Structures are given as C-alpha cells and as structure tokens.
Structure 1
Amino acid sequence: MKVLLLEDVLLEQLRFQRTIEILGLKIDLTIANHGKEGILLLKNENIVPDLILIDIKMPGQNGIDFLKELKSISNLKNIRTVAFTTSNDPQDINMSYENGISSFILKPMNPNLYKETVKLLITYWKLNIQ
C-alpha cells in the first residue's frame, strides 16, 4: 500500500514513520511538508498513493486547500484522503467533509493511543482499498 503523508512538523513525520516501523506495517511511505509539495509530487513525480493522510493546519497550502485542489484534478480526485490532525475545530471538520475527505481522525497525544490509532487506520484502509 502506498501512502502519502502531508505533515509540516518534522517530529510528527518521524513519529509516524517510527510508529509504522514499530508496528511492522508494510507501506510505501512518501512525505510532503505541505499541500503544494503534495500536489507537486502527485502531478510531477507521478506518485499515485492508495491513501493520503493530511494534517489540516499547515503553512502555505493547508489541508483544506490541498483537498480542494486534489478533488479538482480528474485523475487524482478519487484517492482516499484522511485528515490525521490535532485540529478538532468544528469548522475544519465540516470543511474537510464538504471538500471530499474520506475520514477525519484526531491525532492522539498519548503514545499508546497514537500507536493503536495508526494501526487501526492503516489496517482499515489496507482492507478497504485493495
């Protein structure tokens, strides 16, 4: 399974990568630091992930703006996209669903809950994409 992670915080990128390794989840992970970089990877590098995980609050192009652009590109608009974020702002949640997010998941701060959430998230989408 190919996953594109849009996350601007290096520590969060490393946390996700390390959790995947600890859990032994077999995914091909690509990381983009913000929405514009994600779009460039998708368009110019011909990366076509099975799943895109996005942080909502990012500098430059945030997660909502990324979703809007992604859903306007015919050959990319059907990629499953999940908000994996610390934002629990009702406006962010509503805007995400209005712009085609598949799911909205709050990123737990507790390390054990984080690990369990990542495990469930990846396992669920592996089963439902293939």
Structure 2
Amino acid sequence: MKRQILLVDDNPNDVELALTALEEGGQAEVLVAGGGQEALDMLEGGTRPDVVLLDLNMPQMDGLAVLEAIRKNSATSTVPVVILSTSDDERDVGNCYERGANAYVVKPMDFGQFQDAVKVITDFWTNLNQVQAKL
C-alpha cells in the first residue's frame, strides 16, 4: 500500500521544491494544503496521511495552531507531524515539541540540502517507521 504525505505550506516555491524532492523518491502519494485551515479540512474530511509535513509560519492559521488542532482531535491525534520551518529560534522549537510535534527540521537554504532533508524525513516516516493500523 502506498504511503501518504500531507504537505502543508503557503509558499508556492517551497511546495514546488518539496514536491520535486518527494516525487523523485516516488515512495508516497503527496497531498498539498496551501494553508492551515485547508489542512484541517482535509483531515476532518477523512484524509489520514502517514505523516504531515507542516510549515510553521503561515498567515491566517500558523503551524502551531494547526498542530494543536491535530493533537486535540482524537481521529488525528496520533498522526506524526514534522515541522519544516525556516526558523531555528529555540522558542519555536520548544513550542512545537510542547504541543506534540514529532520532529522539527530547519529548512536548509540550499536546494540540494533541502531535497536531501525532505528525502530523509519522508524515507523515515513512510518506509522505516512502523505505523499504527488505520481504523
């Protein structure tokens, strides 16, 4: 069964870069949400990805609010969430882990390094990690 990734990012350039990296691996179906509310609507509509790659800094609804909503919903509370952010601020990192993030990764500025980071993250969460059976 093909694994599923939900990529949540409002920056079209970052989405394009991530999709390029993810499609090269071909290891999972990638769904894209252009913002926090769209991601929550997808999850509330029954989408159950194997991992959510979540941007932290988004307008309207930031990544922390999305993360909190995911963790408060019993249907999505165990879905792994990896924060992908340009911020390396210790407060951002701490806030994300306090709210239940499974990992926090600073987006590398170099395209090749960004691709490598996305591949490593998705390889772990879609191939190596054992997932709880979907109910």
TM-score clears 0.5: yes
Task: Classify the secondary structure of the residue corresponding to 2:109.
Answer: coil
What's the counterpart of residue 102 of structure 2? 102
After TM superposition, give the deviation of residue 24 of structure 1 in Å: 2.7
Whole-angstrom CA distance in 2 between matches of 1:41 and 1:108: 28
Contact 1:55 1:83 in 2 (8 A): yes
What's the counterpart of residue 123 of structure 1? 123
Q: Which sits farther off after the overlay, 74-83 or 119-128?
A: 119-128
Aligned CA-pair RMSD: 1.1
Which runs of no fewer than 5 residues in structure 2 stay unpaired?
Answer: none
1:33-44 aligned at under 5 Å gives the runs: 33-44=34-45
Task: Classify the secondary structure of the residue corresponding to 2:7.
Answer: strand
Whole-angstrom CA distance in 1 between matches of 2:111 and 2:11: 17
Which runs of no fewer than 5 residues in structure 1 stay unpaired?
Answer: none
Percent identity, please.
Answer: 27
Whole-angstrom CA distance in 2 between matches of 1:114 and 1:56: 16
Contact 2:17 2:111 in 1 (8 A): no
TM-score under structure 2 normalisation? 0.90
2:30 paired with 1:29: yes
What's the counterpart of residue 4 of structure 1? 6
**Could you tell me which amino acid in structure 2 is paired with residue 65 of structure 1?**
A
Number of matched pairs: 128
After TM superposition, give the deviation of residue 123 of structure 1 in Å: 1.1
**Could you tell me which amino acid in structure 2 is paired with residue 16 of structure 1?**
A
Whole-angstrom CA distance in 2 between matches of 1:113 and 1:66: 26
Whole-angstrom CA distance in 2 between matches of 1:25 and 1:117: 15
- Please list the CA deviations of residues 58-115 of structure 1 after superposition, one character each: whole Å capped at 9, or x if unmatched: 0011000111111110011000000011111211111100000000001111122112
Contact 1:50 1:129 in 2 (8 A): no
- Please list the CA deviations of residues 6-61 of structure 1 after superposition, one character each: whole Å capped at 9, or x if unmatched: 1000111111111222x3332111111111111001112x1110100100000011
Task: Classify the secondary structure of the residue corresponding to 2:88.
Answer: coil
Contact 2:25 2:119 in 1 (8 A): no
Whole-angstrom CA distance in 2 between matches of 1:104 and 1:110: 18
What's the counterpart of residue 70 of structure 1? 70
Partner of residue 15 from structure 1, selected from 17, 38, 43: 17
